[in-house]
Structure formats: structure tokens, C-alpha cells
Amino acid sequence: MQTLTQRLANPTRFMQLSGTLLPIVAGAASVAILYGLYLAFFVSPADYQQGETVRIMYIHVPSAWLAMMAYALVALSSFGLLVFRHPLADVSAKAAVPIGAAFTFLALFTGSLWGKPMWGTYWVWDARLTSVLVLFFLYLGLMALRSSLEDENLAAKLTAVLALVGVTLLPIIKFSVDWWNTLHQPSTGMTSTVDPSMRWPLLVMAIGFSLLFFALHMKAMRNEVLRRRVKALRLADVARRDAVAAE
Amino acid sequence: MTRFWTLVRRDLTLAVREGGAIGTALGFFLLVVALMPLGLGPDLNLLARIASGILWIALLLSALLSLGRIFESDSDDGALEVMATSSLPLELVAAAKATAHWISTGIPLALLAPMLGLLLNLDIAAYPALIATMLAGTPAVSFIGAIGAALTLKARRGGLLLALVVLPLYIPTLIFGISAVSAVTLQTGAFVSSFLILIALSLGSLVLGPLAAAAALRIQMQ
């Protein structure tokens, strides 16, 4: 009995399965996000302290969650590549990194927009902001390392090593940044309880964003598989022409 | 274990006889520290307050400059492959090279730091703490740096890439190194706790660094 991951090791099977799943996931993502946006903008109340700016939260919080989840997926895929040599693990890791970086940037950007009216500045060196910024740097490092190596196989494995080093050091970085900040200023008190009238839209947006992430990830993986096939076909074509010319 | 120390001694001899590398790192350290007051203004009180931060950041940058040569020259002339085929595990080869880097770069930088502290009006009472934290923290710099050096060995634009990969990983070392020194200058009394965490970071990187660096080297030698 093969497990699902073993069955998906065959790229053709992956392409078939993802081809049927992608429209469903993408459709569900758009429905959930549209409904979530409707709830966020028209149904949920303005906060008694934050006013209308609280609506930024409905984009900001799901982005921040996905920023972390994407890194977990990158680390998991890297593990799958180095330990099990799963053929699609690298495709998955490669596809997830830019998407994760984009969500991290979105979380930082929306947080900064929210910070200006609330804290009076676009950026504070809050512990949480700092650790998300470091996460963004790690994503940039992963992308830079991959793009600087020509040999794709080598790039895949080295990036996987860096992703695993990053995932072991992330908790330490998070801890040290928390410690560093509490030394300088007290907590900003962002962790207050959330009212149900705001929790529900937030949940819908979180589901929508997760579905969006999976749709983007699946599409990016499909593109990567196709790109590799095109490359293999081109190489085969060149080899064939060489053989013809040699005759 | 003798083979391990032989390798360390070989790398140290090379570092001394080649010259240049240590001098460059020390010169860079001096220059970064000297540029800071020019950028920030000559206010001695301000400089005394931020001296520990400047010294630590300058130390990280100058150590970063020399990380590339941990594996580079041996990889270029094939010596690294000979070492990989020897009976010494590649992890220990990586550990020996990182140790040699620490002795040839980390220790000189840490010993130069107090003299640069003079330029920044650092409190004399903080000098023992400064040297101690830098000696305790620089193994983490060398061993985490070895991971970056191994990963970027075959990369184009290796130098800048190395900085991008390694600097985020140095954040814990930087934070606890600075806080241990400023605990003495500001007398907050948090010296021991930060210092112990700094040692823990160095010990942790002593394990993680060679493992990850050897994995990266092995991938590139297949």
C-alpha cells in the first residue's frame, strides 16, 4: 500500500491530481476571501479604540500566520528532499519560498500602515516586528542562495540545508529578540482577547488566505514541473539534432 | 584527535604565513569603529553609551570578511577533497577549520576591541566584560559562519551572498553580546545571565555548525 506522498512522487500523477484540485481550491479561496472581505468591511464593527483601522487586521493577521506556515512548509519539504529524496520535495520548497516571502512582506507592510495611526510611527522595534523582519531576511537568503547556483540539483540541496539551519535557529532568534525587547520597553499589549464579532471575519479570512496559499503553491509547483519538462525536452531535442548532424 | 589538531595547526600556519587575512580583518575593524564617531558626531557621552553596540557590529562585519577563506582556498586547490577522503569525518574537518578561524580571527579581534573601546570612550570598568564576552561569543561567529562559508562555496557573488545568509543567524549572538557589555556600563546587573546565554549559543553552534557545514560540503563534492 503506497502512501499519498509516495504516489505523488510520480510527477504525471501529481499533475493529474493537482489539475483537478487547483480550480476547486482557487474557487474556494476566492469565495472565502470575498466573503471575508465583505464581513471585514461591512459587517464587523469598528473598534472602540482603534476605529476603522482595525480592519487592516483582517489582512494583516492571516498574512502573518501564512508567513510562518510557509516557512514550516519549506522546512518540511527540505527535510523531505534531504532525507527521503522525494522528487517533488524540491519543487514544493522552491515554489513556497517566494510565496512565503510575499506574505511576510504583506504582514510587515500592513502592520506598518496600521502602526502609523496607532503608534504614531511606521516602524517600531517591537519584538514581534523584529522577528518577522528576520524571517523575511531568511526568505531573501534562501532565494539568493538558490539563484546564485547554476546547477539546479546542487542549488536544491544547499537551499534545503540552509532552510533546516534556519528552522533550528528561528526559535533561538525569536527568544533572543523577545528578551532584547523586554529589556528596553514593556510589551505593547497586542494580545487582548478578540470579540466574536471580529473573530468570525478573521477566521473566514484566515481560511481564505490559507486556501489562496495552497492554490498559489500548487500553481507554482505545476509551473515548476512544466518548466523542468520543457528543459528536458529541449535538451533531448539538442541531443537528437547533434546525432542527426553527426551522421 | 591528533589529526584534528594537526589540521588546526596547518590552517593556523597557513593563516600566519599567508599573512594579509588577519591584518585585513583587524584593519577593517579599526576603520569601521573609526568611521562611527565621524558619522555620529564627537559627543563622548553618546559614544560611551553605544560603544558596546558599535564594537560588536564592527566585530561581526570584520569576521564576516574573513569567513570566505575558511574553505575557499582548500576547495580551489583540491585539498578539501583529500581531507574528505581521509579517515577524519568531514564534520571534524569543518570543526577544525572553524576552530582555526576562531583562533586566527576571533581572538585577535576580541583582543583589539578594548583598544578601540578607548576611541569610543568606553568605561574602563567594562573592559574585562568586553574581552570576556567577545572571547565567549566569537566561537559562535566562526562556527555559524562556517555553515555560510560552506553553503556559498560554489556560488557566484559569494561574498555578498554570505553576508545575506549569515547575518540573520548572528542576531542572538549580537543581542546577548551587547547586552552583557552594556549590563556592566549601565549597571543593570544582567551580566551573568546574558554571558551564560552567550556561552550556550557558542556551545550550541559548536554542534550545529560542523554538522550543517559538512552536509553542505558533502553535497558539493558529490
Residue linked to cell 580571527: B105
List, for residues B6-50, the tens digit of each pLDDT value.
889 998 888 888 777 788 889 999 999 999 889 888 888 888 888
The SS3 call for residue A51 is: strand
Phi, psi at B155, each rounded to 5°: -80, 150
B164, B215, B220: residue with CB nearest A144: B164
Distances (CA, A) of B221 to A232, B78, B81: 24, 10, 7
Report the complex ipTM.
0.85
pLDDT computed for residue A162 by the predictor: 93
Q: How confident is the model at residue B103 (pLDDT cuts 50, 70, 90)?
A: very high
pLDDT computed for residue A178 by the predictor: 80
| Interface residue B167 vs chain A (CB under 8 A) | yes
Kindly identify which residue of chain B lies nearest to residue A160, measuring between CA atoms.
B216
List, for residues A185-237, the tens digit of each pLDDT value.
444 444 455 666 777 888 888 999 999 999 999 999 999 999 989 999 999 99
Contact B59, B29 (CB under 8 A): yes
d(CA B92, CA A90): 29
pTM confidence score: 0.87
d(CA B100, CA B94): 10
- Taking CB atoms and an 8 Å cutoff, what residues of chain A touch B149? none
Q: How confident is the model at residue B201 (pLDDT cuts 50, 70, 90)?
A: very high
List, for residues B120-178, the tens digit of each pLDDT value.
888 888 888 899 999 999 999 999 999 999 999 888 776 788 989 999 999 999 988 98
pLDDT computed for residue A194 by the predictor: 62
A137, A148, A176: residue with CB nearest B175: A176
- Residue A204, CB-side half-sphere exposure with 13 Å CA sphere: 19
Cell of A168: 533550528
CB contact under 8 A, A161 and B165: no
Locate the domains of chain B by residue range. 2-221
CB contact under 8 A, A134 and B157: no
Ramachandran region, residue A86 (left: φ > 0; alpha: ψ -120 to 50; beta: rest)? beta
Contact A178, B171 (CB under 8 A): no
Q: What is the CA radius of gyration of chain A?
A: 22
Phi, psi at B135, each rounded to 5°: -65, -35
Whether the per-residue pLDDT at B184 is higher than 60: the answer is yes
Whether the per-residue pLDDT at B189 is higher than 80: the answer is no
- Taking CB atoms and an 8 Å cutoff, what residues of chain A touch B220? 154, 158
d(CA A77, CA A81): 6
Ranges in chain A, pLDDT < 50: 1, 184-191
pLDDT, greater one: B69 or A194:
B69
pLDDT computed for residue A57 by the predictor: 82
How close, in Å, is residue A177 to chain B by CA atoms? Answer: 7
| Interface residue B37 vs chain A (CB under 8 A) | no
The SS3 call for residue B106 is: helix
